[in-house]
Chains A and B, each alone.
Chain A
């Protein structure tokens, strides 16, 4: 029973960051209908920015974190303005190719800048874990969880309760009518992409210090993000949130009770199973793109 509780606790801690990754991608995939292959690279970017600020510049951890997220947003906005804006009318294949190219360029840029050796990022939390009865959890993971939940709540508030959020949802529902209503579509696209990228960078900035930062860390994160988005249903933030926690739970329990060597495969197996019964995901709002 203790072992089970420990697994569940680990899963909850990890689920928050997976949810961040998923929400970020569902905003871009769902609203902009862009297959964002650079999502994983923004995740890696967030982690490397933490490394740069905390380890190289010696900045305070809690100052570096929002800075890394902000830079992630800026990078996302840059990608949208430079690449996607020009492809506004193009078909999905062209967009995908350009995004794949951006993905390769970003990843190799990371490798060139930081070399292939994994980087460790120190955190200011005590090394001794928080012990709750028979289970224990590291303080840095508790912080990651709390911060992730705060970010998810903030994003949800932004989308549901602000004018900007309303404009984003209107653009998502019917782009042309929203344009007729006076919504600046280009502006909304840039902000959405920046927001989605910021969330990916946040996930990376939070998880980087828990694990290590290395150039290809984005690949697995992106694959999981896509899995979460499909599981939760395209464009659904509650779906992505729930999907993130379900994925983490599947990973932990699968690794704990079925096979530890195939931890990452467990989540994808779960996706296959769920899609067999609910092809549009759990809370789908849009059916297919392209």
Chain B
């Protein structure tokens, strides 16, 4: 009885350690995303995109002869939690490279940890200009800054006939930065700025802000916040009969999700996006986009998540190219190698330029920016 028990226990221990040994061979990549909280919808899409990239890369042999393994942590849309996840990923899981943290506020919170531990992080979504000009050489951003977005939008001001615009933004680095950049761009292009309203990222009632915006009388309303809040804003704007045309910025507002959840309230709204799955001909690298979309649909993920999920896909692919160029899974080597990386991504071609104070530059990509419109429950070109 005791002998067979001892045999069973040792067999179990051997199997477990064999499994652990095999897993140790994989290269770990840390991922910190908001899977719960105010930004949960987008954080989950990005994570799904990252998982698809992991599967695709492992299916074609991994990198440096080893598989990659994503270690995914939930930062709960909260800066304190974001720092905790970064600490856990770097100090406990010993990941040589990370991707995160979605919201600009969360990324900014994590940045000091990167400097402390000298581990590079790929920024896939955050758009605050502060991130790449703070003198942190461990930041590699593939998403556009709010400034780039605003400049790309400048060409639409006259054709759309924007004379006076109001702003409604979430009260964090992302929202405030975008309002600032877009308002400056508008002033430089002959339009005037009305009121600039803000709200808490967790707020669900915008009646007060919308009443003020309605009273301001602008012809356009720029909304910068997460997709959950945009759904509510569209519905409440319709309820309060706000007549201004609504344009969302940031690229994370999935038009498909808005159509599904806001219904007719979404008609007429325009959105800045960084991937147009509805118009494959307009995409820079159609073959890469097709591979991503096919993988997404094969896993039966919601179509509304494509415009956000590609960030995770492009992010992991860029990291893996960095690991390949570095030749080893060490943070310092990866950080040096990422500078020279060139990737054909879903958004376009990824390549890094220097941004920030000399000697302490961060890396920034110059991605493609598109504007689409919702009309009659469908997404059309602007």
Whether chain B is bound by chain A comes out as: yes
Asked if A186 is an interface residue, CB under 8 A from chain B, the answer is no
Are A129 and B241 within 8 A (Cβ)? yes
- The reply on B41 being an interface residue by CB < 8 A is yes
Q: Which of A156-164, A176-184, A207-215, A274-282 contacts B (4 or more CB under 8 A)?
A: A207-215
Instruction: Indicate whether A131 sits within 8 Å of B265 (C-beta atoms), given known contacts A211-B232, A263-B205.
Output: no
Contact between B240 and A211, CB atoms less than 8 A apart: no
Chain B residues whose CB sits within 8 angstroms of the CB of A255 once the complex forms: 208-209
* A118-B40, A216-B37 known; A263+B239 contact, CB < 8 A: no
Does chain A have a CB within 8 A of B204?
Answer: yes
Provided the pairs A216-B37, A263-B208 are in contact, do residues A117 and B44 lie with their beta carbons within 8 angstroms?
yes
B215 touches A264 (CB 8 A): no
Q: Which residues of A contact B200 (CB under 8 A)?
A: 261-264
Cross-interface CB contact of A256 among B44, B212, B228, B241, cutoff 8 Å: B212
In the complex, A174 has a CB within 8 A of chain B: no
CB distance from A47 to the nearest CB of B (A): 11
In the complex, chain B residues whose CB is within 8 Å of the CB of A128? 238
Residues 175-219 of A at the B interface (beta carbon under 8 Å): 211-212, 214-216
The answer to whether the Cβ of B264 comes within 8 Å of any Cβ in the partner chain is: yes
If A6-B207, A263-B205 touch, whether A116 touches B215 (CB-CB below 8 Å) is: no
**Interface residue? B198 (CB, 8 A):** yes
CB under 8 Å from chain B, chain A span 1-18: 2-3, 6-7, 10, 14
Distance A252 CA – B40 CA, assembled complex (angstroms): 27
Residue A136 lies at the interface, judged by CB distance under 8 Å to chain B = yes
> Which residues of chain A have C-beta atoms less than 8 A from B44's C-beta?
115-117
Are B197 and A260 touching (Cβ within 8 A)? yes
Given A117-B44, A215-B36: A7 in contact with B240 (beta carbons within 8 A): no
CA distance A54 to B228 in the complex (A): 19
Taking a contact as CB atoms under 8 Å apart, the answer to whether B240 and A136 are in contact is: yes
B240–A120 touching, CB < 8 Å: no
Decide yes or no whether A60 CB sits under 8 A from chain B.
no
- B263's partner among A127, A220, A261 (CB-CB below 8 A) is A127
With A116-B35, A117-B41 as contacts: A14 and B204 at CB distance below 8 Å: no
Pair A118/B36 contact, Cβ less than 8 Å? no
Let me know if A102 is at the binding interface, CB within 8 A: no
- The residue in chain A whose Cβ has the minimal distance to the Cβ of B36 is A116
In chain B, positions 1-51 with a C-beta closer than 8 Å to chain A are 35-37, 40-41, 44
Q: Are B40 and A214 in contact (CB under 8 A)?
A: yes
A260 with B199, Cβ < 8 A, contacts A212-B231, A252-B208, A255-B209 known: yes
Contact with B along A258-269 (1 / 0, CB 8 A): 001111100000
User: Is there contact, CB below 8 Å, between A117 and B40?
Assistant: yes
Kindly state the separation between the CA atoms of A58 and B78 in the bound complex, as whole angstroms: 34
Q: Are B208 and A260 in contact (CB under 8 A)?
A: yes
Task: Count contacts on A: residues with CB < 8 A to the other chain.
Answer: 35
| Residues A137 and B41 in contact, CB atoms below 8 Å apart | no
B211 within 8 Å of A by Cβ? yes
Check if A173 is an interface residue, CB within 8 A of chain B: no
B196 → chain A, closest Cβ, in Å? 10
Q: Once the chains are docked, how many angstroms separate the CA of A138 from the CA of B36?
A: 29
Given A111-B36, A263-B203, A212:B232 Cβ within 8 A:
yes
Residue B202 at the chain A interface, CB threshold 8 Å: yes
- Distance from B263 Cβ to chain A, minimum over Cβ atoms (Å): 7
Q: Does B261 contact A (CB under 8 A)?
A: yes
A129-B199 in contact (CB<8A): no
- B239:A136 contact, CB within 8 angstroms: yes
Which of A120, A127, A260, A262 has the most B CB atoms < 10 Å from its CB? Answer: A260
Which residue on B lies nearest to A253, using beta carbons? B208
Rounded to whole angstroms, the CA-CA distance of A260 and B179 in the bound complex is 15
CB B214 to nearest CB in A, in angstroms, measures 8
Tell whether A10 pairs with B208 under 8 Å between CB atoms, given A129-B240, A212-B232, A260-B197: yes
Residues of chain B within 8 A (CB-CB) of A111 are 36
CB-CB < 8 A to A214: which residues of B? Answer: 40, 228
0 or 1 for each of B218-258: is its CB under 8 Å from A? (1 = yes)? 00000000001001100110111100000000000000000
Known: A111-B36, A116-B37, A211-B232. A131 touches B212 (CB 8 A): no
CB distance from B342 to the nearest CB of A (A): 35
Residues in chain A near residue B231, CB distance under 8 A:
120, 212
User: What's the nearest-Cβ distance from chain A to residue B321, in Å?
Assistant: 31
Judge if B285 is at the interface, Cβ distance under 8 Å: no
Are B239 and A260 in touch, CB under 8 angstroms? no
Residue contact B215 to A2, C-beta cutoff 8 Å: yes
A252–B241 touching, CB < 8 Å: no
Q: Are B40 and A6 neighbours in the complex by a CB distance under 8 Å?
A: no
Q: How far is the CA of A200 from the CA of B199 in the complex (A)?
A: 25
**B240 and A6: CB pair below 8 A?**
yes
Interface centre among B44, B200, B215, B264 (most CB of A within 10 A): B200
Residue among A120, A138, A141, A216 with most chain B CB within 10 A: A120
Q: What is the 8 Å Cβ interface bit string for chain A, positions 237-275, against chain B (1 contact, 0 not)?
A: 000000000000001100110001111100000000000
Which A residues from 125 to 157 make CB contacts under 8 A with B?
Answer: 127-129, 131, 136-138, 141
Q: What are 18 residue pairs bridging A and B, where the CB atoms are less than 8 Å apart in the complex?
A: A3-B212, A3-B215, A7-B208, A116-B35, A116-B36, A117-B41, A120-B231, A127-B235, A212-B228, A212-B232, A220-B202, A256-B208, A260-B212, A261-B171, A261-B197, A263-B205, A263-B208, A264-B200
Residues of A whose CB lies within 8 Å of any CB of B are 2-3, 6-7, 10, 14, 111, 115-118, 120, 127-129, 131, 136-138, 141, 211-212, 214-216, 220, 251-252, 255-256, 260-264
- Give 17 new A-B contacts, CB below 8 A, not counting A3-B214, A118-B40, A120-B231: A10-B208, A115-B40, A117-B41, A120-B261, A127-B235, A127-B264, A136-B239, A137-B239, A212-B204, A214-B228, A215-B36, A255-B208, A255-B209, A261-B171, A263-B203, A263-B208, A264-B203
In the complex, the 6 A-B pairs of residues with the closest C-beta atoms, listed nearest first:
A116-B36, A255-B208, A211-B204, A261-B198, A138-B239, A116-B40
